[in-house]
Amino acid sequence: MEMMKEDEKIRMLKEDLEDLKMYIKEFSDFLPLPVCTINPIGIIVDINKAVEVLTGYTTFELVGQDISIIFLEKKEIEEIEEIIKQKGTESRELNLLTKENKKIPVRIYASIRKDREGNYLGYFLAFFDISEIKALQESLEEKVRERTKELQEKIRELEKFYKITLGRELKMIELKKEIKRLKKELKEKNNEIWKKNLRKNQPKG
């Protein structure tokens, strides 16, 4: 079998590299999840199309900037970098700041990058827009608050009703006792009268 010439090998390697470049670009453009590549000093070195769409910044505006530019919690970003160096990954909720200064709640996922020798190269940072989930959560919490308020109102009404009915019940018991006492008193009086009459009508001897 004829040995491949050096030029031919280089040509094939170049073609492979071009294909790889195209594949990465196509995949990155397709990926609906916004992903950034961050270098060891916190500078954005690459972003995909989804980042442009979500933040409103172009690649030209964002690449070369500090990652904290697109987050409200600047201090937390520094903390995250330290955590990634120790743990390798990190996930938490933050607020993204768009070019128009609009705040978008996001959940971030960060994962460390290393070279073959194990040197720290920075990290990948993906973020997921959770504004719809947050809105749903807030609407559910509002509903729960409303229901709780309604229930508390009902409980108050029931307590009031209970107090009224209980008062009436106690009065009835009192009245029944009074009737019973009066009945007894009446009976005793009648008995006394009867005895008196009996004595009066007895023949004197």
Partner 1 sequence: MITKKEAEEIMKIKGNVRGEGILTDLEYVRYREGEVGLKKLEEKLKELGWQLKFEEIKSTEWYPIGLDVLKTLVIKDLFNWTEKDIFEMGAYSARVSFLVKMLLRYFVSPQKAFQESPKYWRKNYDVGELEAYEFNEKEKYMIFRLKNLKLHPINCINFAGYFLQMAKYVIKSKEITIEETKCVFKGDPYIEYVIRWK
Contact footprint for partner 1 (CB under 8 A): 14, 17-18, 21, 24-25, 37, 39-43, 45-46, 58-60, 63-64, 66, 115, 119-121
Nearer to partner 1, 119 or 201 (CB): 119
Nearer to partner 1, 1 or 41 (CB): 41
Nearer to partner 1, 31 or 130 (CB): 31
Angle at 153 between CA 147 and CA 157, to 5 degrees: 145
User: Closest separation between CB of residue 65 and partner 1, Å?
Assistant: 9
Report yes or no: 125 and 83 within 8 Å, Cβ to Cβ.
no
User: Closest separation between CB of residue 32 and partner 1, Å?
Assistant: 21
Retrieve residue 120's tokens: 């720290």
- How is residue 36 annotated by DSSP? E
Nearest partner of 28 among 56, 46, 49, judged by Cα: 49
Nearer to partner 1, 38 or 104 (CB): 38
Which amino acid appears at position 66 of this protein? D
d(CA 108, CA 37): 13
Name the helix (H) or strand (E) containing 20: helix 6-30
User: Closest separation between CB of residue 139 and partner 1, Å?
Assistant: 41
d(CA 119, CA 104): 33
Nearer to partner 1, 6 or 132 (CB): 6
User: Closest separation between CB of residue 135 and partner 1, Å?
Assistant: 35
User: Closest separation between CB of residue 11 and partner 1, Å?
Assistant: 10
Angle at 165 between CA 163 and CA 170, to 5 degrees: 95
